[in-house]
C-alpha cells in the first residue's frame, strides 16, 4: 500500500472507499485474471471464468443476508435512479396481472391502483416524483396509477422520521406497492435496525398482500437486514459498500417476475428494465458491468471471512457512536449543529454544520484536507459537512476525524 493511501482517509458518499486488500488483488486481475493471460475487464461475460465470478457474487450476497429461495438476486445497471422507474413498471405490471381476489371488489382491478411512498429525504422524494411523472406522462388524462404519499417529513427539513400515527397507507388491495428509502444518504436519516425502536418502519401497518419495496443503497451489507423475508423488492447501488459505480443489486420475490409482454401490463416495460428478463437471463440479457461484479465477489468473500454482517454491524456501530459523541461535544461548545433527531440519525452518513456559516465550513474543510481527511463536504443541495462511514472506512480513519473535530472545536470555541 502506498504511503499516500495510508495517510488519506476517504469519507466520500459514493463512489466510496474499497478495501485495500481487494484493490490489491484486483490490480493483478486487470492484467491476468485467473491465469488466463487476459484481464478481468477483457474476458467474455459468457465465458466460464466470469460465470464463476457472478455465481460467487450471488452466493456471497445470499449467504450474508440469509436471502430465502423465494427471492432472486439480479445484477443490473443504471444506479438506484433507474430503479425509480423499474419499480413502478414491474410492480404495476404485477398488480395488473395477479389473479383477482374474491375478497375485494372487482372494480379495484380496473381503477388505477395507488403507489404508496414514504418520503423521508431527497432520494425517496425523487423516487416518488419519478413515479408520478411516469404514470402521468404515459396517460395524462387517465393516469395508470395514483401517487399516495403515506408520510412526509419535508416540513422538518427531512430531519426526523414519521411517527406510527403519521402513516396513512392505502387500504388493503388498493396499492400496487409501498416504497421507502431505508437510509437517506444526503440528509443523514436512517430507519432504526429493529422494529421496536422509536422511528422504526411499521411493517405491521403495511396491509397484507401489498408488496414492500425498499431502497437500501447506502447501507447495503453494512449490517443484517431485519425481516428480510418481508420485503418483495430491495435494491442497492453498489458504489457504497460493494464495488465501483456502475452496478445495482436487485433482490426480488420470484412471484413478482411477470412477463413484460403480457397484454394486461398497463405500461410497456423495456426488456432491459424487466425483472423477469434479467432473472431468466441470469443477469446477462446484455453485457453486465463485469468489473464491478468482480469487485463485488471479492468484497463479499472478504466480508464472509471477517465476521460476516454481525461483525460488520459491531464495527460500524462503534464508528458511528464515537463520531456522534465527538460531535455532541461540539454542539455543547456552540461550534457544531446536529439537526437530525437522535432516533433518526444515520450511522452510514453523518451530517452536521459548523458555526460561522460558509466561512466556518471553509475553515473546517481546509483543515481537514491538510490532515488527509477527504471528501467531507456535504451534498451541494444542503451544504454542511458529511462523513460517510461505509464498511471500508476504518476505525482508525474515524479516530483521525474525531481528533481533528476535537481540535477544531477547541480552536473555534476560544
116, 125, 215, 276: the active-site residue = 215
Pairwise CA distance, residues 368 & 202, whole Å: 39
Cell of 39: 484481464
Catalytic status, residue 333: no
CB atoms within 10 A of CB 370: 9
240, 312, 319, 377: the active-site residue = 240
Catalytic status, residue 240: yes
Catalytic status, residue 123: yes
114, 123, 232, 276: the active-site residue = 123
Give catalytic residues, as residue numbers: 123, 215, 240
Amino acid at each position: 500500500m502506498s504511503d499516500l493511501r495510508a495517510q488519506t482517509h476517504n469519507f466520500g458518499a459514493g463512489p466510496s472507499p474499497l478495501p485495500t486488500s481487494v484493490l490489491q488483488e484486483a490490480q493483478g486481475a486487470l492484467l491476468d485474471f485467473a491465469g488466463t493471460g487476459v484481464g478481468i475487464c477483457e474476458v467474455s461475460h459468457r465465458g466460464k471464468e466470469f460465470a464463476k465470478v457472478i455465481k460467487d457474487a450471488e452466493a456471497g450476497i445470499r449467504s450474508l443476508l440469509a436471502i430465502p429461495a423465494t427471492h432472486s438476486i439480479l445484477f443490473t445497471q443504471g444506479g438506484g435512479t433507474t430503479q425509480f422507474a423499474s419499480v413502478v413498471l414491474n410492480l404495476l405490471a404485477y398488480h395488473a396481472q395477479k389473479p383477482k381476489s374474491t375478497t375485494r371488489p372487482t372494480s379495484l382491478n380496473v381503477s388505477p391502483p395507488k403507489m404508496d411512498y414514504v418520503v423521508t429525504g431527497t432520494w425517496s422524494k425523487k423516487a416518488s416524483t419519478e413515479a408520478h411523472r411516469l404514470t402521468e406522462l404515459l396517460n395524462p388524462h387517465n393516469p395508470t396509477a395514483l401517487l399516495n404519499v403515506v408520510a412526509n417529513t419535508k416540513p422538518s427539513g427531512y430531519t426526523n422520521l414519521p411517527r406510527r400515527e403519521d402513516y396513512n397507507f392505502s387500504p388493503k388491495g388498493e396499492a400496487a406497492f409501498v416504497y421507502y428509502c431505508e437510509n437517506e444518504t444526503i440528509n443523514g436519516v436512517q430507519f432504526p435496525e429493529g422494529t421496536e425502536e422509536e422511528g422504526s418502519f411499521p411493517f405491521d401497518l403495511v396491509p397484507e398482500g401489498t408488496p414492500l419495496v425498499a431502497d437500501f443503497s447506502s447501507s447495503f451489507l453494512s449490517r443484517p437486514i431485519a425481516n428480510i423475508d418481508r420485503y418483495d423488492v430491495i435494491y442497492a447501488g453498489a458504489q457504497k459498500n460493494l464495488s465501483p459505480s456502475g452496478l445495482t443489486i436487485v433482490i426480488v420475490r420470484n412471484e413478482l417476475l411477470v412477463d413484460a409482454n403480457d397484454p394486461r401490463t398497463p405500461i410497456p416495460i423495456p426488456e432491459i428494465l424487466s425483472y423477469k428478463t434479467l432473472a431468466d437471463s441470469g443477469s446477462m440479457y446484455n453485457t453486465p458491468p463485469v468489473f464491478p461484479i468482480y469487485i463485488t465477489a471479492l468484497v463479499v468473500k472478504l466480508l464472509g471471512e471477517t465476521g460476516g454482517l454481525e461483525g460488520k454491524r459491531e464495527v460500524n456501530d462503534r464508528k458511528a457512536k464515537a463520531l456522534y459523541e465527538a460531535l455532541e461535544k461540539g454542539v455543547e461548545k456552540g461550534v457544531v449543529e446536529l439537526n437530525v433527531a437522535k432516533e433518526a440519525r444515520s450511522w452510514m452518513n453523518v451530517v452536521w454544520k459548523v458555526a460561522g456559516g460558509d466561512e466556518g465550513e471553509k475553515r473546517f474543510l481546509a483543515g481537514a484536507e491538510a490532515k488527509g481527511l477527504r471528501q467531507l463536504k456535504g451534498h451541494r443541495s444542503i451544504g454542511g459537512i458529511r462523513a460517510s462511514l461505509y464498511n471500508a472506512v476504518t476505525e482508525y480513519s474515524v479516530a483521525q476525524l474525531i481528533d481533528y473535530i476535537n481540535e477544531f472545536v477547541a480552536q473555534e470555541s476560544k
